Structure 1
Amino acid sequence: MQKTPFKHMFAAFMAGSVVVGSLMFASDQLNVFSGGIAAATPAATPATTAAAVQTASATASSQASASLAAVKAGNASVSDIAKAASPAVVKIETVVQSAGSRSFTGSQEGSGIGSGFIFDASGYILTNEHVVDGASQIQVYVQGYDKPFTATLLGSSYDLDLAVLKIEGGQAFPTLALGSSENAQAGDWVVAIGNPYDFDYTVTAGVLSAKEREISIDDSQGTRNYKHLIQTDTSINPGNSGGPLLNMNGEVIGINTAVSSEAQGIGFAIPAETVSSVIDKLKNNESIPKQASPYIGVSVQDVTEDMQADLQLNEAAGVVVMSVQRQSPAFQAGVRQYDVITAVNGSKISNTEALTKQIQAAQVGDTLSLTINRAGKTQNISVKVNDKNAAN
Structure 2
Amino acid sequence: MERFGGSRAFCAVLLMMLAGCEQVPIPRLGQASAADYQPSEPAAGGGRGAEQIGRPTLAPMLEAVLPAVVNISTTSTVEEQDHSPLGERSSQPFFKFPAVPPDERQQQSLGSGVIVNAEKGLILTSHHVIADADRVTVTLQDGRDFEAKTVGVDTETDVAVIKIDANNLKALPFGDSQSLRVGDFVAAIGSPFGLSQTVTSGIVSAVGRSGLGIEGYEDFIQTDASINPGNSGGALVDLNGELVGISTAIVGPAGGNVGIGFAIPSRLAQSIMQQLVQYGEVQRGKLGVGVHDLTPDLAHALGLERGSGALIALVQPDSPAAKAGLRPGDVVTAIDGTPVTNGGSLRNTVGLLQVGSEIKLDILRNGEKRTVTARIAKMVGSVD
User: TM-score with structure 1 length normalisation?
Assistant: 0.55
Change beyond 3 A, Cα 1:389–1:24: farther
Change beyond 3 A, Cα 1:345–1:237: same
Q: Give the letter for the 2:222 counterpart.
A: Q
* C-alpha contact (below 8 Å) 1:294/1:362 kept by paired residues: no
Which whole-Å CA distance do the structure 2 matches of 1:207 and 1:145 have between them?
A: 30
Which sections of structure 1, spanning at least 5 residues, go unmatched? 1-22, 29-68, 219-223, 297-343, 348-359, 369-385
5 Å matches for 1:1-392? 23-27=1-5, 70-73=28-31, 77-99=57-79, 107-122=104-119, 123-146=121-144, 148-169=145-166, 171-217=167-213, 224-262=215-253, 264-290=258-284, 365=314, 390-391=381-382
* C-alpha contact (below 8 Å) 1:128/1:257 kept by paired residues: yes
Where does residue 339 of structure 2 map in the other structure? none
Which whole-Å CA distance do the structure 2 matches of 1:137 and 1:260 have between them?
A: 29
Which whole-Å CA distance do the structure 2 matches of 1:163 and 1:97 have between them?
A: 20
Deviations 1:149-208 (A, max 9, x none): 000001110001111111012x23111011111222111110110000111110000001
Which whole-Å CA distance do the structure 2 matches of 1:245 and 1:271 have between them?
A: 9
Deviations 1:342-387 (A, max 9, x none): xx9989xxxxxxxxxxxx976562889xxxxxxxxxxxxxxxxx99
Change beyond 3 A, Cα 1:95–1:285: farther
In the TM superposition, residue 289 of structure 1 has moved relative to its aligned partner by 3.2
In the TM superposition, residue 213 of structure 1 has moved relative to its aligned partner by 0.5
Which whole-Å CA distance do the structure 2 matches of 1:362 and 1:109 have between them?
A: 49
Q: Give the letter for the 2:169 counterpart.
A: F
In the TM superposition, residue 77 of structure 1 has moved relative to its aligned partner by 3.9
Deviations 1:65-109 (A, max 9, x none): xxxx94223799422222111111100001111149998887421
Deviations 1:195-248 (A, max 9, x none): 001111100000011111014446xxxxx2342211111000110011110011
In the TM superposition, residue 116 of structure 1 has moved relative to its aligned partner by 0.5
* C-alpha contact (below 8 Å) 2:289/2:312 kept by paired residues: no
Change beyond 3 A, Cα 1:364–1:89: farther
Change beyond 3 A, Cα 1:361–1:201: farther
SS in 1 for 2:381: helix
SS in 2 for 1:287: coil
* C-alpha contact (below 8 Å) 2:194/2:230 kept by paired residues: yes
Change beyond 3 A, Cα 1:205–1:295: farther
* C-alpha contact (below 8 Å) 1:292/1:364 kept by paired residues: no
Q: Give the letter for the 1:24 counterpart.
A: E
Change beyond 3 A, Cα 1:100–1:273: farther
Q: Percent identity?
A: 32
* C-alpha contact (below 8 Å) 1:139/1:151 kept by paired residues: yes
* C-alpha contact (below 8 Å) 2:28/2:241 kept by paired residues: no
* C-alpha contact (below 8 Å) 2:275/2:283 kept by paired residues: no
SS in 2 for 1:239: coil
Change beyond 3 A, Cα 1:284–1:345: same
Asked which structure has the greater RCO (Cα within 8 Å, sep 6+), the reply is 1
Aligned residues, how many?
248
Q: Give the letter for the 1:79 counterpart.
A: A
CA RMSD of aligned residues (A): 3.8
Change beyond 3 A, Cα 1:206–1:285: same
Which sections of structure 2, spanning at least 5 residues, go unmatched? 7-26, 38-55, 82-88, 299-308, 316-327, 330-346, 352-378
User: TM-score with structure 2 length normalisation?
Assistant: 0.56
Which whole-Å CA distance do the structure 1 matches of 2:73 and 2:273 have between them?
A: 22
Which whole-Å CA distance do the structure 1 matches of 2:201 and 2:314 have between them?
A: 43
